[in-house]
Structure 1
Amino acid sequence: MSEDTLFSEVLNPANRADPYPIYARLRENPVSPQRDGIVVVSTHAAIRSLIFDPRLSSEDLPPSHRPRTGNPLKDWLLNPIKDRIATAHRPLIFRDPPDHDTLRSVVMREFTVARVLALKQRVVRDVDALIDACRGRDEVCLVEDLSYPLPVAVICDMLGVPEVDEPQFQRWATQLATALEPDARHDEASRHKTVAAFDAISGYMRALIREKRRRPGPDMLSALANPITTKPGPGGKAAMGDFDLISTAILLLVAGHETTVNLITNGMLTLLRHPHELDRLRADPERAPRVIEELLRYEPPVHFRTRKALGTIEIAGHTIRKGAPVILLFAAANRDPARFADPDRFDPDREDVQHFGFGGGLHYCMGAPLARIEAEIALVALSRRLIAPRLLSDPPPYRPGASLRGPERLGIGINGIAARST
Structure 2
Amino acid sequence: MKPIKSLLAKFSRKPAAAVDIGDFDPFDPDFIADPFPMLAALRQTAPVHRLANGSWVLSRYRDIAQALTDPRLVNSPSRFAVVNPRNAQRYTCANVAQNILPFQDAPEHTEPRQALARHFYEAFRKEQNNAQKITSKLWRNLSGEVDLLSDFATPLCSGMMGRLLGLRDIWHDPKAVAQLKRWAEWFFYLFSILPDEQTRAQLDCELDAAREFLTEFVQPGKSHLVDCLMSETKGLAPLSADALRDNALLLLADGVNADHGIANALLMLMQHPEALQDLRSNPERIPQASEELLRLSTPSLFIARRASEDLEINGQAIRKDSGVLLMLASANRDEAVFENGDMLNINRPRRQQLTFGRGEHACLGRHLVNEMMHQALGALVSSVRPAQLTKQPPQWSLRAGHRWLASLPVTLGPVLTN
- 1:143 is matched with which residue: 140, 149, 162? 149
| Structure 1 residue 146 displacement after superposition | 0.5
Which amino acid in the other structure matches residue 88 of structure 1?
Q
In 1, Cα distance between equivalents of 2:56 and 2:279: 40
What is aligned with 1:178?
Answer: 189
1:229-280 Cα offsets, whole Å, 9 max, x none, are x3x49xxx7352212112201100001110x211211111111111011011
**Within 5 Å, which residues of 2 pair with 1:26-65?**
26-27=42-43, 28-60=45-77, 62-64=81-83
1:394 CA drift (Å): 5.6
Cα deviation code 1:359-415 (max 9, x no counterpart): 112111111111111111111111221533221136311122132312111111232
Q: CA-to-partner distance for each residue in 1:44-100, whole Å, 9 max, x for gaps?
A: 01111211111111112624499xxxxxxxx9xx954968754532x2112111222
Distance 1:32 1:386, change over 3 A: farther
Whole-angstrom CA distance in 2 between matches of 1:94 and 1:59 = 5
- Per the alignment, residue 98 of structure 2 pairs with 88
Q: C-alpha distance in 2, partners of 1:133/1:64?
A: 42
1:127 — aligned with what? 135
The residue correspondences of 1:388-407 to structure 2 (distance < 5 A) are 388-393=386-391, 395-407=393-405
Could you tell me which amino acid in structure 1 is paired with residue 38 of structure 2?
Answer: I
User: What is the letter of the counterpart of residue 317 of structure 2?
Assistant: T
Judging changes above 3 Å, is the alpha-carbon distance between structure 1 residues 150 and 418 closer, same or farther for their aligned structure 2 residues?
Answer: farther
User: 1: distance between equivalents of 2:392 and 2:270?
Assistant: 10
Structure 1 Cα separation of the partners of residues 404 and 227 of structure 2: 32
User: Runs of 5+ in structure 1 lacking a partner?
Assistant: 67-74
**Aligned runs of 1:320-331 on 2, under 5 Å?**
320-331=318-329
User: What is the distance in 1 between the residues matched to 2:346 and 2:209?
Assistant: 42
Residues 162-186 of structure 1: CA deviation (Å, up to 9, x unaligned):
526544433222222222333xx25
- Give the equivalent residue in structure 2 for 1:108: 117
Match of 1:14 in 2: 30
What amino acid maps onto 1:122 in structure 2?
Answer: N
The CA distance in 2 between the partners of 1:84 and 1:412, in whole Å, is 40
C-alpha separation in 1, matches of 2:323 and 2:91: 27
Could you say which residue in structure 2 is the equivalent of 1:69?
Answer: none
2: CA distance, partners of 1:87 / 1:127:
33
Task: Tell me the distance in 1 between the aligned counterparts of 2:89 and 2:283.
Answer: 54
Quick check: 1:3 aligned with 2:21? yes
Q: Name 1:238's counterpart in structure 2.
A: 237
Q: Name the structure 1 match of 2:379.
A: 381
Over 3 Å counting, the alpha-carbon distance change for 1:88 and 1:337 in structure 2 is: same
- In structure 2, distance between residues paired with 1:109 and 1:239: 17
CA distance in 1, matches of 2:279, 2:41: 33
For 2:53 and 2:244, the matched residues in 1 are separated by 35
When structure 1 is superposed on structure 2, of 163-172 and 150-159 the one drifting more is 163-172
Distance 1:3 1:384, change over 3 A: same
Q: Give 5+ residue unaligned stretches, structure 2.
A: 1-18
Q: What is the 5 A alignment of 1:336-347?
A: 336-347=334-345
**C-alpha distance in 2 between matches for 1:341 and 1:155:** 36
| 2:236 is the counterpart of 1:219 | no
**In the aligned structure 1, how far is the partner of 2:107 from the partner of 2:223?**
29
- What is the match of residue 331 of structure 2? 333
- Post-superposition offset of 1:161: 3.0
CA gap of 1:276–1:193, structure 2 versus 1, over 3 A, is same
Give distance in 1, aligned partners of 2:216 and 2:48. Answer: 45
Which of 180, 191, 195 lines up with 2:200 in the alignment? 191
Over the aligned positions, Cα root-mean-square deviation in angstroms equals 2.5
Cross-structure match for 2:161: 155
Q: In the aligned structure 1, how far is the partner of 2:72 from the partner of 2:295? A: 26
* Contact 1:155/1:253 (8 A) holds in 2: yes
Which amino acid letter does the alignment assign opposite residue 136 of structure 2? Answer: D
SS at match of 2:280: helix
After superposition, the C-alpha distances for 1:298-344 in whole angstroms (9 at most, x for unaligned) are: 11121210111111111111111111111010000111112211111
Cα distance change, pair 80–180 in 1 and its aligned pair in 2 (3 A): closer
- Checking the alignment, whether the CA contact within 8 Å between 1:106 and 1:238 is kept in structure 2 is no
C-alpha distance in 1 between matches for 2:341 and 2:245: 41
Cα distance in 2 for residues equivalent to 1:97 and 1:57: 9
Question: Which residue identity lines up with residue 149 of structure 1 in the other structure?
Answer: P
Instruction: Write the distance in 2 (CA, Å) between the matches of 1:417 and 1:251.
Output: 40
Q: What residue identity is the alignment partner of 1:14?
A: D
Tell me if the contact between 2:180 and 2:256 (Cα under 8 Å) persists in the aligned partners: no
Number of residues of Structure 1 aligned to a counterpart in Structure 2: 390
